[in-house]
Amino acid sequence: MAKTVLLIEDEPNIVEAIRFLLARDGWRVETHGRGDTAMDAVAKHRPDLIVLDVMLPKRSGFDILRDLRAAEDTRHLPVMMLTARGQSKDREMAEQYGVSRFMTKPFSNTEMLDAVRELAEA
């Protein structure tokens, strides 16, 4: 059975690019575009890993990551954060909240596939 990635991202072009790339690699890809209901999407889809944008409508990826790490059933779920802002303070905050991997946009297809595969095996 295919593993599930939940992509929490609000940019339609990025959603389609990542969905296509991962689906072609054999992943089941579920998507969600809002920060305020992201935890509901996690509970609904029960993903094997999450790709999480930092800047989302209604709630930031950092807040979502903090909630994921605070909840017993998602504490160890692999989470890769994506951001267009690659400042070191963003990376440091993500690491402080327990991110599994941090990737800046733009990224290459190879980078994305390698990171997702690596997180799935961890």
pLDDT tens digits for range 2-51? 899 999 999 999 999 999 999 999 999 999 999 999 999 999 999 999 99
Q: Residue 72 maps to which CATH number?
A: 3.40.50.2300
The reported pLDDT for the residue numbered 58 is 94
Q: What is the pLDDT of residues 39-55, one digit of tens each?
A: 999 999 999 999 999 99
CA distance 117 to 41: 22
Euclidean distance between CA atoms 89 and 81, whole angstroms? 14
Range(s) of the domain holding residue 28: 4-121
Q: How many domains are there within the chain?
A: 1
